[in-house]
A and B are shown apart, each in its own frame.
Chain A
Amino acid sequence: MILTEKEVLQILMTWRHRVEAAAWVVVRDSHASEDIFQNVALKALTRDVSFESESAVLSWAFITARREGIDWLRRRRRETPEIGVELIDLMCLEWLTRDPGGARVEALRECLERVPEESRQLLRWRYFEGRPCQEVARMVGVKLDALYKRLSRLHESLRDCVESRLPPLPREEQA
């Protein structure tokens, strides 16, 4: 049975952050990833494509996001992605084999809201404003190496915070 537009959109919105994150792995620009997701959603509704299952929608969405990301890179930077297509597809597949992540996204949102302002500022500069680490290091007043360490620890603490808020996954699903 063919999924309706409403059902397709519902699936895409549930998976939005992961599709955007897959695009981000290619373009490393959060605003571009958001645009790419919008294009993916638009294509799913306006192009002559139909889907029979959730997994069909998602496989198509991840592949389309990857392609859009590569197009974006070529147009804006005239570069090909550093990460090869096969590796991106493998990561997308791994994204697909996990739960939709609604609870996970909510947990991450809560954890981010608890991050101290100084750290939040660092994340804001790096990911929202897209500033290179060199520039963020200068603004924070630390050396580049120290900034990489700090950023890495921040991601780690966010990951730990999210995991502490979620019920444990069956062992074979853990990364």
Chain B
Amino acid sequence: MMEQQLSAEEREQIVRFIDGGLSRSRAAAVLELLGRNEAARAWLREVAEHAVLISELERSEMARRGEYQRMRPHPQEAGALRSGRRWLWTGAVLAMAAALVVVAISWAVAWQRDRAREQWQAVLEHSRGSLQWTGDGGKVISGLEPGARVSGGTLQTLSTDSWAVFRYRDGSRITLAGRAEVVVADTARRVIHLRRGSLSADLQPPQREGGMLLHTPTAEVRVLSTRFDARADETYTTLQANAGRLQVRRKSDGVINDVPEGHRVVVTLRTDALLVPRRPGAPVPDWQAELPECVTHGKWVPVEGGKGRVKAEPLLMLHHPNGPQPVEVVSASVYSCQPAPVELQDASELVLRGRLRRSGRVYVGLTATFPGGGAAGKFLASQPVEVGQGGGDFVLRVPGADFVPLEEGFPKSVAGLQLEDCWGVTCQEDDLGLEVVAMEVHGPRQMARLPQEGGISPGTVGSRR
């Protein structure tokens, strides 16, 4: 086989291509190069192998480092003082005086900057479920304790029942619910990158330093409000201004618009979509998750001639009372596929239909928000599900009144709250093979209308083979 050469420039172009940093025409040229040049393909294979192995090494090191490690002070914090000291060694008196002036100015600037940075440094106030912190130095910490600093790194809530609240010195609070990932900047301004998941902010009014900046994969948001909710993934961002307004810039084309109080906007990468804020519709009592559009965790398995089903996928609950607990989860989000909020009542029912490999306990959980916006809490219920030998279909109906809050501070009941997402969970060791074909909320009125399926009454579990 003829050996083909690849220039340094071509290698760099491939690295750019992988990052998505090329124009359409240059990307096409790289694809053409990859098609005709074996050395180019070898280079891409090389980079892919490096990427995979680097990640494996990092995972091994994470496992070796194990649990909680205290963070060292951020190296930038001491930098300004060190640079000031260098001036003390100048010889001449005048130079010394000049140097002292410089030191004084540097110190004043550094002090002001540190003070501003300190103001925007966040600490973890409260958390539940699995949590991981990666500092800018690359240090990975699991099991953060309240009081730990969470500025200058990435905070991840890892499971569907995770919940984390971090607080700034001015009393502003940010709540992450479910699986989310935020990068909290260690800067003299409050800057947060929401890479995925849900975030609710309850902020003190903006000071003269300016409001908070929120970045998501699709939007840049100047926060001019005190309360707002945001949800994001790689392709969309939903923003709701609950008190005050937001200024949104769509990243794909730079279009800017304001989101007034009480309005919501969806920002996608599509430049042909209007960036128009709307008032959320009136709350509705019923909801049926469109599968797979609403699914946030689980594997979609299409079925020939049918609609398909969502197979539970593993997640690790690191902070389970009995030690790390592997579970299998299917979750669906209301916000990714429903324009109107879904109101919950004690007499509402959350219905999970699916299939189990064998009988066992199924947990059903939900995340709720307050009607005026803001994260309200997470709630859980569980029921044993009986299926025949060899497995079978089941319908699990959980009345709203059966859901218990996962934390003391959460509302006692889901009544009057709005559904954000819901999930079905089984313990991996039970090997139930949970598959879900429908996730629904039936409001009190719809429940009255519904015929009883095969003698199954509300609040009970049924199965059919």
Contact = CB atoms under 8 A, between A and B. Distances in A.
B292 A109 contact: no
Contacts of A129: 134, 154
A143 interface: no
Most buried by A among B8, B31, B39, B49: B49
Given A94-B42, A124-B138, A152 B52 contact: no
Interface in A122-175: 123-129, 132-134, 139, 144, 148-149, 151-152, 155-156, 158-159, 171-172, 174-175
Contacts of B58: 124, 128
Interface stretch (A6-14, A19-27, A48-56): A19-27
A47 interface: no
A76 B313 CA distance: 15
Contacts of A149: 12
Provide the main secondary structure of the chain B interface. helix
Contact of A175 (B12, B42, B50, B233): B42
B57 A18 contact: no
Interface residues of B, number: 47
A172 B1 contact: yes
Most buried by B among A126, A151, A155: A155
B15 A128 contact: no
A29 B56 CA distance: 12
B1 A127 contact: no
Interface of B: 1, 3, 8, 11-12, 15-21, 27, 31, 34-35, 38-39, 41-59, 134, 136-138, 154, 233-235, 292, 300
9 contacts: A22-B48, A30-B51, A75-B300, A82-B31, A87-B35, A94-B45, A148-B15, A152-B8, A152-B12
Given A17-B56, A77-B235, 11 more contacts: A17-B49, A20-B52, A24-B48, A34-B56, A75-B300, A87-B35, A139-B136, A155-B15, A155-B50, A156-B8, A158-B50
Interface of A: 17-18, 20-22, 24-25, 28, 30-31, 33-34, 71, 75-78, 82-84, 87, 90-91, 94-95, 105, 108-109, 112-113, 121, 123-129, 132-134, 139, 144, 148-149, 151-152, 155-156, 158-159, 171-172, 174-175
